[in-house]
């Protein structure tokens, strides 16, 4: 190698120094390299720059890890010589041998002297220092960029409270234009007057003693004077080696938006609470009104039921009044028979003929039957007009229909009417008030008989039908002229009647009675001519435990 002998060529020495200095000032080339790649790159560059036969580089580590080393040799040097060179270089670097080593000459006979030059150490150390400087500058740039872009209030001041730095966001928050205004101010000047005493006597001593103070203080805007709430974080900056305080810094956050949101939320909560209280009071009042209305409705329902019962009774009285004359005629027959029987018995007893005793007994029995017949007629009429309370129980439907028919079909209006019953054995019982349902049947049967008054064919059919386990149906069908279409649509309206002297309340009352029993009443045309009135009732099978009335 050209420089293994005594250095006598000064221009060559200057060139080497210049190249090494240039190499040590270009660390940016290796910013993306790891230490191994940097060492290899340096070795390759030095091998060319110094026209050396080999270059061995060791980069010390600053974190306790083993140093990074590499060796680059020319191709003419064999592997054995490379190992020897590496060993000698390590010993020289560690100070275990002299600065000059001897190895076999791979090119010719003799030996080669290996000399470690201080210049190489300077180049390596310079490179390492430049890399560390670049890392420090990069970290500093990151820190400065972070502080400059932060939206918080970031500032630095001396121990006597004179600000030396404030980031752009901090300047804008307090209304300052540039950092040139900072030397004329004190840290306390950033606070509103009310908080300065607290900061001076409480916050600052705690900061200097403990090293940190964190809490809320109000800043002031230098242009408008408007106070601004801040979450202040003051911390002391100590020297990294002496640990002595050298300044203070702060990272504070503007709480104006947060306080505004908290205030709005608090106002909203208070408003909501007030609205809840008001709404609760309104609901309580509405509930009181509803309770009052319910009580009034119950009173009205009871009064309606009472009036309805009175109406039903009035209708029965009206029906009884219409049949009074007919019943008187019907009663005359059994009464006349009883009178004649009594006269006959009197004559037989006056004759004092023992042979006539059997005749007397027969006459008395006939008189008794006629008296019972009259009593039954009177009892039926009395039951019809009795007021009584609504009492629903299981009733035998066929017997109820036959009894109502006997009352409805008395008098001349029913003469010549052929009445037939078609009872479904499955519809034998109902749950109803017997008197009220008889009232409905009497009204419907009498209307049917009167509708056929001018007809030659007077056929009236009363039918029962099992609908289901809870419902039975009763139908009264006549062969009359039927109902006009207009009349059929308004038949159950009050004061609508097909009779010349009718009041138009009978069918309305009948429908009310049926609906009070949970059923419904309707009419339809009879396919064979005439009209059919149908109404539904609750079947006796629905409450099998009740006694039959």
**Residue 440 belongs to a domain:** yes
As a whole number of angstroms, the longest Cα–Cα distance in the chain is 197
Q: Where are the beta strands (DSSP E) in 42-162?
A: 54-59, 68-73, 100-104, 111-115, 153-157
Under 8 Å between Cβ of 430 and 540:
yes
Q: What is the CATH number of the domain that holds 248?
A: 3.30.450.20
**Residue 427 belongs to a domain:** yes
Q: Is 78 helix (H, G, I), strand (E, B) or coil?
A: coil
229's enclosing H/E stretch is strand 227-238
Clarify whether residues 39 and 97 are in a common domain: yes
Last residue of a domain, one of 254, 272, 288: 254
**Residue 445 belongs to a domain:** yes
- The better pLDDT of the pair 477, 450 is held by 477
Domain limits for position 131: 10-140
pLDDT at 547: 45
**Residue 58 belongs to a domain:** yes
Q: What is the CATH number of the domain that holds 337?
A: 1.10.287
Under 8 Å between Cβ of 398 and 439:
no
Q: Alpha-carbon distance 549 to 546, whole Å?
A: 9
Mean pLDDT computed over 201-210:
92
Clarify whether residues 375 and 489 are in a common domain: no
Last residue of a domain, one of 389, 415, 440: 389
182's enclosing H/E stretch is none
DSSP 67: P
- pLDDT above 70: percentage of residues in the chain: 61
Domain count, the chain: 4
Clarify whether residues 154 and 197 are in a common domain: yes
pLDDT at 456: 80
Clarify whether residues 385 and 396 are in a common domain: no
Clarify whether residues 241 and 331 are in a common domain: no
- Say how many CA atoms lie within 13 Å of 18 toward its Cβ: 6
Q: Where are the beta strands (DSSP E) in 269-422?
A: 393-396, 418-422
Clarify whether residues 29 and 102 are in a common domain: yes
Clarify whether residues 243 and 325 are in a common domain: no
For residue 183, count other CB atoms closer than 10 A to its CB: 9
Last residue of a domain, one of 140, 170, 188: 140
Q: Is 414 helix (H, G, I), strand (E, B) or coil?
A: helix
Q: With a threshold of 0.85, does the pTM exceed it?
A: no
In this prediction, residue 43 has a pLDDT band, given cuts at 50, 70 and 90, of: confident
**Residue 265 belongs to a domain:** no
Clarify whether residues 93 and 16 are in a common domain: yes
pLDDT at 118: 44
Q: Alpha-carbon distance 493 to 487, whole Å?
A: 10
Clarify whether residues 22 and 129 are in a common domain: yes
CB-based contacts of 416-422 (< 8 A; 24+ apart in sequence): 416/458, 417/449, 417/452, 417/458, 417/459, 417/460, 418/458, 418/459, 418/460, 419/460, 419/461, 419/462, 420/459, 420/460, 420/461, 420/462, 421/461, 421/462, 421/463, 422/461, 422/462, 422/463, 422/464
pLDDT at 407: 76
Q: What is the pLDDT of residues 108-122, one digit of tens each?
A: 555 555 444 444 555
Q: What is the pLDDT of residues 224-243, one digit of tens each?
A: 999 999 999 999 999 888 88
What DSSP string describes 370-409?
HHHHHHHHHHHHHHHH-------EEEEHHHHHHHHHHHHT
In this prediction, residue 313 has a pLDDT band, given cuts at 50, 70 and 90, of: low
**Residue 381 belongs to a domain:** yes
Mean of the per-residue pLDDT values for the chain? Answer: 76
Clarify whether residues 417 and 495 are in a common domain: yes
**Residue 207 belongs to a domain:** yes
Clarify whether residues 406 and 531 are in a common domain: yes
Clarify whether residues 376 and 518 are in a common domain: no
DSSP 66: P
Mean pLDDT computed over 299-326:
64
For the chain, what is the total number of helices (H) and then of strands (E)? 13, 16
């Amino acid at each position: 190698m050209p420089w293994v002998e005594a250095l006598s060529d000064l221009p060559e020495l200057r060139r080497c120094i210049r190249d090494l200095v240039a190499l040590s000032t270009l660390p940016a080339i290796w910013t993306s390299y790891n230490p191994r790649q940097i060492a290899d790159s340096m070795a390759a560059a030095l091998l060319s720059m110094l026209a050396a036969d080999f270059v061995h580089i060791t980069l010390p580590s600053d974190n306790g890890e083993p140093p990074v080393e590499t060796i680059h040799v020319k191709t003419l040097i064999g592997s054995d010589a490379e190992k020897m060179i590496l060993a000698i270089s390590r010993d020289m670097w560690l100070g275990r041998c002299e600065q000059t080593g001897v190895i076999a000459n791979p090119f010719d006979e003799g030996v080669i002297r290996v000399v470690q030059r201080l210049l190489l150490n300077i180049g390596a150390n310079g490179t390492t220092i430049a890399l560390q400087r670049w890392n420090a500058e990069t970290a500093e740039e990151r820190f400065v960029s972070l502080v400059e872009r932060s939206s918080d209030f970031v500032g630095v001041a001396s121990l006597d409270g004179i600000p030396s730095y404030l980031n752009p966001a901090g300047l804008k928050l307090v209304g300052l234009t540039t950092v040139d205004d900072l030397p004329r101010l004190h840290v306390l000047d950033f606070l509103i007057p009310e908080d300065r005493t607290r900061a001076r006597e409480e916050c600052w001593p705690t900061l200097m003693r403990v090293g940190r103070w964190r809490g809320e203080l109000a800043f002031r805007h230098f242009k408008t004077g408007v106070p601004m709430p801040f979450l202040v974080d003051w911390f002391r900056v100590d020297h990294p080696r002496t640990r002595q305080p050298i300044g203070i810094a702060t990272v504070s956050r503007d709480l104006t938006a947060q306080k505004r949101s908290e205030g709005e939320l608090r106002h909203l909560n208070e408003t909501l609470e007030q609205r809840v209280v008001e709404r609760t009071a309104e609901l309580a009042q509405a509930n009181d009104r509803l309770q009052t209305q319910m009580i009034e409705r119950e009173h009205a329902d009871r009064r309606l039921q009472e009036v309805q019962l009175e109406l039903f009774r009035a209708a029965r009285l009206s029906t009884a009044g219409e049949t009074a004359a007919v019943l008187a005629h019907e009663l005359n027959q059994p009464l006349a028979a009883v009178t004649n029987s009594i006269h006959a018995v009197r004559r037989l007893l006056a004759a004092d003929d023992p042979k006539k005793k059997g005749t007397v007994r027969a006459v008395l029995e006939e008189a008794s039957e006629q008296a019972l017949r009259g009593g039954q007629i009177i009892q039926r009429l009395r039951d019809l007009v009795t007021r009584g309370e609504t009492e629903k129980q299981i009733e035998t439907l066929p017997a109820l229909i036959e009894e109502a028919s006997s009352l409805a079909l008395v008098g001349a209006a029913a003469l010549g009417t052929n009445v037939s019953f078609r009872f479904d054995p499955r519809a034998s019982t109902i749950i109803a008030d017997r008197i009220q349902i008889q009232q409905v049947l009497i009204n419907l049967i009498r209307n049917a008989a009167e509708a056929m008054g001018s007809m030659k064919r007077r056929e009236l059919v009363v039918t029962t039908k099992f609908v289901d386990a809870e419902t039975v149906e009763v139908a009264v069908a006549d062969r009359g002229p039927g109902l006009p279409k207009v009349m059929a649509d308004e038949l159950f309206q009050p004061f609508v009647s097909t009779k010349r002297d009718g009041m138009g309340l009978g069918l309305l009352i009948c429908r009310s009675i049926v609906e009070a029993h949970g059923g419904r009443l309707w009419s339809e045309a009879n396919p064979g001519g005439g009209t059919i009135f149908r109404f539904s009732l609750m079947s006796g099978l629905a409450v099998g435990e009740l006694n039959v009335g």
